[in-house]
Each structure stands twice: as structure tokens, then as C-alpha cells.
Amino acid sequence: METDRTPESAEEMSFRAGTVALCGRPNVGKSTLLNALVGSDLAVATRFPQTTRERLLGVWSEPGFQAVLVDTPGIHRAKSALNKFMVDEALRGAQAVDLVLMLAEAPLLADIAAAEAWEPGPAAAAALTSIAAAGRPIALVLTKCDRIEDKGLLLPILHKWSTLHPFTALIPISATAGEGLKQLREHVVAALPVAEPLFPEDQLSDRAVRWHAGERVRAALFDHLRDELPYCCAVTIESFKEQRKPPRDIVHASVHVERESQKPMVIGRGAETIKAISMSARRAIAELTGRPCELYLEVKVTPNWTRDPALMQRLGLHAPVGGLS
């Protein structure tokens, strides 16, 4: 008896797909690693801690597997409503995933004696405890290892981490230098279940282009503003229009600050600062979309928005990513 059904190939039956959370303290390299694995500068990565505020899904697709990477904010002691939101985002990101990659920065140590005496700090240990509470498998990823010439110094560091939790693997890497990424890839693929892809092969993120545009503006704020001011700024995209002839994007965005005194600091003397911010963000958005960008920025005062959850929701900081709760 003939049937119209085509038998699945061995490749289709063994395809793996699932979710992997990238968690850890601020500035340990989560966004940098996501970008390296996906092969695109999706996540905003700066030298400043606590740049990431919301979860972002990066879709890592290769022949035979698809890993949906959940980039999360850094886990830290939260005081303001904004910081509590960020930590909650990180801990939600560790739930209902197939694997958690707990990132920790490799310490810079002078010799083997210092490495053997080293202990993970209380903040890092507390972050691990919070992540482990989700009950998901956790692999430790030791980042920025290219800074350490003597790789033998990594062994006592990895051993100390292994005493804190039954990790599924201990993997030293450097996302910028490409070190250890093959081993990380192998471990991630092995942890994924046999399943169909969760996203189309050519899709890199669950976020809309306008959201990524807002992140490029925030990154420019970190580049051009000093001290704590970038942490007091939020960005909303008021309009994002794709013009076909000639092809270009026309973007209107608002930069929200908390106090009147901060507004002239963002604008700068003779509007020099806001012009520099706009130029940097415009270039970054154009690199993202592959089209020229016209960007118009307005600075607004939204008093105490970092302390008011209702105002945070108005500025867009409320929606879980990709249906993850």
C-alpha cells in the first residue's frame, strides 16, 4: 500500500533544538558571548557593567541544531525598581531552559600560589545560588581567559568553582579570541533535546528592529556620557519608518532622564553631546539594518522613572521576551 508520507531522514530525526540561558554577574561577557555564537552584533556589549536591562533571545542556528540563547542582565544587589527588574529578568531567564551557562570572569593572578589561594567572591557565590534555585542543569563558563598566558593557573580556579555546585561542565573560553568555543558548542548541542527548530533558520532574534535601534541609542549614551548618567537614561523609539525610495530608515527617539539638571548634560554645550550620540547611534543602526539611517533625538524629563515600576512599564520595561515567563 502506497502512502504520500515521506519518511523522515536520519538528519531530521536527530536535529536538536532548545533554549540556553546566559547568566552571571554584571560585565562577565554574556552579551559578547551571545554575539560570538550567533555571529552577529545583536546584543549591546559595552565596557560598563549593567548595560543589559532586558532579556534578549539570540537564535544560534547551525546544521543539525538550533540553540535559542537567552541573554540576561547581570545579577547584582538590587536597590532601585529598575535594578530589581533587571535581576528578576535574569532569574526568569534561568527558568524553563534546557541548559544554563553560568558565566564567571577569570581572575587575573600572578602565580600558581595565588591561584590556589583564590576563592569565588561572595557576590559570585550568591549569584550561583540564585541561579541554581531554578533547578536547571548549569555549566560553568570561565570567560576572558585570553588574558591569562599560563593556562595552568585556570585549573585551581575551575576546581574551586567545582566545589560550589555539580556543574555539567567547566569550560574556559575567550569569546573575543575564539578560545574554547568549539568545546562550548559541543556541550551545548549535547544538552539540547531532539526537536524541531523553534525559529526559522535565517531569524537571529525575537526582538523587532525598532527595539534593537533603541539599544543602539542606549549604547551611544554609554559611549558619550560620563559617570552614572547613562544608568539614569531610558530610550523609547517614538517612530521607525522604512522608506523605500531612496532606501533609508527614519527614526524618532526620546532619551528619558530623571531630573531637569540631567537634561543639559545629555544635550551638551551647543548640543555637541547629543549630536555625537546621534551620529554614533545612526551608524550603529545603519550597520544593523544595512540601510542609511536618519535619527532624530529628543531629551525628555521623566522624573524618578528608575524608582517607579509604573513609569518603567510606560517606557517599555515590562514585557517578557519570547513568551518566557
The CATH number that applies at residue 86 is 3.40.50.300
Q: Does any domain span residue 201?
A: no
Q: Does any domain span residue 3?
A: no
pLDDT category at 11 given cuts 50, 70, 90 is low
- 22 with 112, same domain: the answer is yes
Helix (H, G, I), strand (E, B) or coil at 49: coil
Across residues 91-115, what is the average pLDDT? 87
More confident residue, 9 or 243: 243
- Residue 23: all three cell numbers together: 547568566
Alpha-carbon 191 to chain mean position:
21
- 256 with 136, same domain: the answer is no
More confident residue, 216 or 78: 216
Say how far apart CA 72 and CA 59 lie, in whole Å.
Answer: 14
- 148 with 271, same domain: the answer is no
- 157 with 69, same domain: the answer is yes
**Average pLDDT over the chain, rounded to whole?**
86
Terminal Cα distance for the chain, rounded: 47
Across residues 171-186, what is the average pLDDT? 96
- 238 with 173, same domain: the answer is no
Contact 69, 20 (CB under 8 A): yes
- 165 with 249, same domain: the answer is no
Across residues 137-147, what is the average pLDDT? 95
Q: Does any domain span residue 76?
A: yes
- 79 with 182, same domain: the answer is yes
Q: Is omega for the bond preceding 49 within 30 degrees of 0, making it cis? A: no
- 183 with 215, same domain: the answer is no
pLDDT category at 92 given cuts 50, 70, 90 is low
Q: What is the pLDDT of residues 273-287, one digit of tens each?
A: 999 999 999 999 999
Of all residues in the chain, what percent carry a pLDDT higher than 90? 54
Exposed/middle/buried for 305, CB within 10 Å: 0-12, 13-18, 19+? buried
Residue with cell 539611517: 293
- 37 with 156, same domain: the answer is yes
- 137 with 39, same domain: the answer is yes
Q: How many CB atoms lie within 10 A of CB 94?
A: 24
Of all residues in the chain, what percent carry a pLDDT higher than 70? 83
Say how far apart CA 109 and CA 149 lie, in whole Å.
Answer: 10
Which helix (H) or strand (E) is 216 found in, with range? helix 209-224
Residue with cell 525559529: 199
At which of 162, 191, 220 does a domain end? 191
Q: Does any domain span residue 308?
A: yes
At which of 191, 221, 245 does a domain end? 191
Across residues 219-244, what is the average pLDDT? 90
Among 70-79, 140-149, 150-159, 213-222, the least confident range: 70-79
CATH of the domain at 220: 3.30.300.20
63 backbone dihedrals φ, ψ, rounded to 5°: -55, 125
Of 134, 30, 22, 36, nearest to 68 (Cα)?
A: 22
More confident residue, 267 or 10: 267
pLDDT given at position 75: 64
- 237 with 308, same domain: the answer is yes
pLDDT given at position 152: 93
Q: Does any domain span residue 2?
A: no
Say how far apart CA 250 and CA 287 lie, in whole Å.
Answer: 14
pLDDT given at position 57: 82
Say how far apart CA 3 and CA 11 lie, in whole Å.
Answer: 21
Which helix (H) or strand (E) is 152 found in, with range? none
More confident residue, 93 or 21: 21
Alpha-carbon torsion 312, 316, 318, 321, what sign? negative
Q: Does any domain span residue 203?
A: no
Number of domains into which the chain is organized? 2
Q: Domain residues for 128?
A: 10-191
Q: Does any domain span residue 149?
A: yes
pTM of the model: 0.77
- 282 with 177, same domain: the answer is no
Ranges of beta strands (E only) in 39-169 are 56-62, 65-71, 99-105, 138-143
Q: Which residues contact 3 (CB under 8 A, 6 or more apart)?
A: none
Q: Does any domain span residue 202?
A: no
Kindly tell me if the per-residue pLDDT of 192 is higher than 70: yes
